[in-house]
Amino acid sequence: MSGLKREGDHVHRLDALRGTTPQQPHDARAIAALAANPGCARRALMDGAGIDKDAAARHLGFPAPFGQSPFAITRGNMFEALVKADGCAELLRMLREVLGLPVAEVSYHDVENVGAHLRHAHTKALFDRAAREGHDAGTLYDHPLLSLRIAGHTAYLEPDVVAFQLGGRFHIVEIKSFAVIDGQADPAAVAAAARQAAVYVLALRNLLEELGHDPLKVSHDVVLVCPENFANRPVATLVDVRKQLAVLRRQLARMTTLDRLLEGLPDDLSFDLLPDEDGRPTRPVAELADALHRTTARYAPDCLSTCDLCFFCRDEARQEGASDLLGRQVRDELGGVASVAEALGLADGSRDPAEGQEEIARLLRNAERLRRECLN
Amino acid sequence: MSDRLDDLERRIDELRAGVRKAMRVRDGATARVLRAELRSAERAWDALVSGRPPQAKEEPQPQKAALVTVREQVHQGLRLLGAAAQPRLIVAVSDAFFGGTIRSSQLTSLRRDEERSFRSSPFGRPYYLCAALTDRLSPARGLLTLSTWPLERRVVGPLSPRVDFLTCAIATATAIEERDSDDERALRLLVRMARNIPGATDGTLGPPDPGRVAAAARAELLVHAERDTRDRAELAERATAQLGDAARLFGAATLSTIKKENAK
């Protein structure tokens, strides 16, 4: 992690951005979401400073539509319990089928046995032993606790299960309750799961590296366990997360080079919510909104499923009539045309294309002509 | 027929009064049992009035089970399984073989109640439902055992979860064979277990042969038995040496175990 260490003054600058608001610890979901929109400076700054985006969005009057539903959480927990029931009987079957785990490998360690406060140390000790002793150590590690340095702060992560002894390598097992129907699952859900698993892979690799072992002992293939078809029967699939790992690494490295972003900011800028004794934010909404508007966001409709501030940024994008609203694909095709009004103006000829806009203007005019012909 | 109807009506009245009484003293468990009986009595009454034969399966079970407490039902289930088990499995076994009425949620506070009872009057009961002990000698999460078992059977080494699962599978298969049971719930339980034991099913979708399941489970058990027995013996020895009576049954608090180990 040496590349991720930063100088102290940037930490101070980030702490100043956060102000008196307590820091929001990162979880795997939040870290994974970082990789979803790497171009957004607003998000990079807020995450770097560990600001509670949900609280900020709520205070601004744009509460996010997500946070998991209690039903989804219950369903997820139930399915996880089912997979882990009876000494991980179902999981062992799947690992034997998918990865050819030998029958003798059934050892199961529940890291949580040591009590919550020692879990991280115990996880370290167990993995150190496993990596050193090779085949005589455990096979399944339940409730491990890993850590990852995010922009100078430590985030604690809890993978579902870590399996070892599949060819001497560690595999992250991610249990998700979305269904795989006829071999197909919702691509968005799989992508999210893969991003999340990549966070665990990265954290585990860092742990092994710290302990002086080969980080590549952690496989980039993660085992994704989902219910099959319309029954509750779990099925395991191997998912390659190399791509997600690369994005995540880049994003995390970028977070530590926030200097560039910070340099462009006015000195008095702060996202402090000024919480009172009960933790209720007291900062005037307009002031906070103004502070946020001074950082550039890169809104895309995908943000709606990954970022707490999504409604705020969408509102901003709407007011500006930005072409971002129409999604990444449209934005890319409209390269050089920043707003919807501008695009419409180019299309109906009421606006002359600026330099470099001739090509897109011709396309838009053609499109407009076709549309008119269709409508008439 | 009208005699039976009269009987049933009297019974329904009694049950209704019973439910009301139980609700007044806020005894949820009794009320639930009585309600279940009430419903079955009402169904029988419906069936009699309309001249349809009552569905044979539904009637006798709740009445039989009502005589057995939750504690006793768990005891029965555990005795059949013969190894530390999760509440879900105990409930499934009790349901499949003893017509049990317990649900997993009723088992959550059981261990605490047992511990309280043991502490107020040690060894006052013939058996206690107690915890399985982890390698830290703390209570293992979500596992129940019987105090009458030897300590070796109540501790959990690294291989023990699998060994216990296989032991439970063998016990279930044997119980089905002995009783020659064709009860749907028992077979469903067996199917679920057999799926996770290599060589236990013949690849068809039908119910597996109990003999074959037991044989497959025994075969896998052989692979793990030696190491597991060794681990357990060592743990049991440590538990005997370090723990008092109550902690031996219900597990030591985690932190104190660590302190003790550090002090050594």
The mean pLDDT value for A304-325 works out to 83
Residue type, A6: R
Q: How many angstroms separate the CA atoms of B172 and B192, rounded?
A: 11
* Residue A376 in tokens: 């008439």
pLDDT value of position B172 = 93
Identify the pLDDT of residue B60: 46
Question: Does residue A4 carry a pLDDT above 50?
Answer: no
Do the chains contact at B140 and A118, CB–CB below 8 Å? no
Q: How many CB atoms lie within 10 A of CB A354?
A: 12
- Of the residues B144, B196, B256, the best mutation for testing chain A's interface (the one with the most A CB atoms within 10 Å of its CB) is B196
Highest mean pLDDT among A6-15, A111-120, A288-297, A362-371: A362-371
One domain, residues A198 and A95: yes
A291 within domain boundaries: yes
**Average pLDDT of every residue of chain A:** 82
Q: Is A105 within 8 Å of chain B by CB?
A: no
Report whether pLDDT(B22) > 90.
no
| Whether residue A62 is found in the same domain as residue A74 | no
On whether residue A145 sits in a domain, the answer given is yes
| Structural domain for A289, as ranges | 2-66+254-299
Choice between B164 and A231, residue whose per-residue pLDDT is larger: B164
d(CA B127, CA B78): 12
pTM score: 0.73
User: Is the pLDDT confidence value at B215 over 50?
Assistant: yes
| Chain segment A143-156, per-residue pLDDT in tens | 899 988 876 677 88
CB of A121 less than 8 A from some CB of B: no
Instruction: Calculate mean pLDDT across residues B151-174.
Output: 93
- How far is it, in rounded angstroms, from Cα B242 to Cα B257? 9
| A78 closest CA partner among A8, A9, A175 | A175
A155 and A118, same structural domain? Answer: yes
Query: Which residues of chain A make contact with B193, given a CB cutoff of 8 A?
Result: 86, 89
The whole-angstrom separation of Cα B55 and Cα A128 is 61
Among candidates A86, A90, A113 on the partner chain, residue whose Cβ is nearest the Cβ of B138: A113
- Establish if A237 belongs to a structural domain: yes
For the stretch A320-373, pLDDT in tens is 888 777 877 777 777 777 788 888 888 888 888 877 788 888 888 998 999 999
**How many domains does chain A contain in total?**
3
pLDDT at B62: 47
Domain boundary among A250, A284, A312: A250
Same domain for A223 and A126, yes or no, is yes
Same domain, A74 and A60: no
Distance from CA of B158 to the nearest CA of A (A): 5
In a shared domain, residues A183 and A224: yes
Domain for residue A216, yes or no? Answer: yes
CA distance A260 to A254: 10
Query: Is the domain of A197 the same as that of A87?
Result: yes
pLDDT category at A10 given cuts 50, 70, 90 is: low
> Would an 8 Å CB–CB cutoff place B115 in contact with chain A?
no
Q: How far is CA A337 from the centre of its chain?
A: 29
Q: Are residues A177 and A211 in the same domain?
A: yes
- Quick one: pLDDT at residue B28? 78
Starting at the earlier edge strand, list the strands of the sheet with A140-142.
A108-110, A140-142, A161-166, A169-175, A221-227, A234-240
B191, pLDDT greater than 50: yes
Report strand pairing: A221-227 vs A169-175: parallel
Where residue B262 falls among pLDDT bands split at 50, 70, 90? Answer: low
CA distance A196 to chain B (A): 27
pLDDT of residue B248: 86
Residue A320 lies in a domain: no
Quick: pLDDT tens for B38-86: 888 888 888 888 876 655 444 444 445 456 788 899 999 999 999 999 9
Nearest CA to A11 out of A295, A249, A262 is that of: A262
Least confident of A113-117, A173-177, A208-212: A113-117
Q: Single out the residue in A209, A231, A250 at which a domain terminates.
A: A250
Measured N-to-C along each axis, helices A53-60 and A285-293 cross at an angle, to the nearest 10 degrees, of: 120
Return the domain boundaries, chain B: 1-66, 110-263
Q: In a mutagenesis test of the B interface, which of A83, A88, A91, A106 is the best target, namely the one with the most B β-carbons within 10 Å?
A: A106
Percentage of residues in chain A having pLDDT higher than 70:
91
Using the Cβ of A132 and the Cβ atoms of chain B, whether some distance falls under 8 Å is answered with no
Q: Nearest-CA distance from A9 to chain B in Å?
A: 39
Domain end, chosen from A180, A215, A250, is at A250
| Cβ contacts of A93 on chain B, cutoff 8 Å | 195-196
In this predicted structure, what is the pLDDT of residue A3?
Answer: 38
> Would you call A86 an interface residue with chain B, using a CB distance cutoff of 8 Å?
yes
Inter-chain residue contact B198 with A103, CB threshold 8 Å: yes
Q: Is A60:A312 a contact under the CB 8 Å cutoff? A: yes
Assess whether A160 and A224 both reside in one domain: yes
Is residue A27 packed enough to be buried (19+ CB in 10 Å), middle (13-18) or exposed (0-12)? Answer: middle
Min Cα separation B253/chain A (Å): 9
Least confident of A46-60, A174-188, B169-183: A46-60
Nearest residue of B to residue A95, measured between CA atoms: B196
Write phi, then psi, for A241 (nearest 5 degrees): -110, 25
Mean pLDDT across the stretch B3-32? Answer: 85
Q: Give the single-character DSSP code of A42.
A: H
User: Given B138, B158, B195, which is nearest A93 (Cβ)?
Assistant: B195
Burial A204-241 (b: 16+ CB within 10 A, else e): bbbbbbeeebeeebbbbbbbbbbbbeeeeebbbbebeb
Task: Please report the ipTM that was assigned to this predicted complex.
Answer: 0.71
pLDDT value of position B89? 92
Same-domain check for residues A151 and A47: no
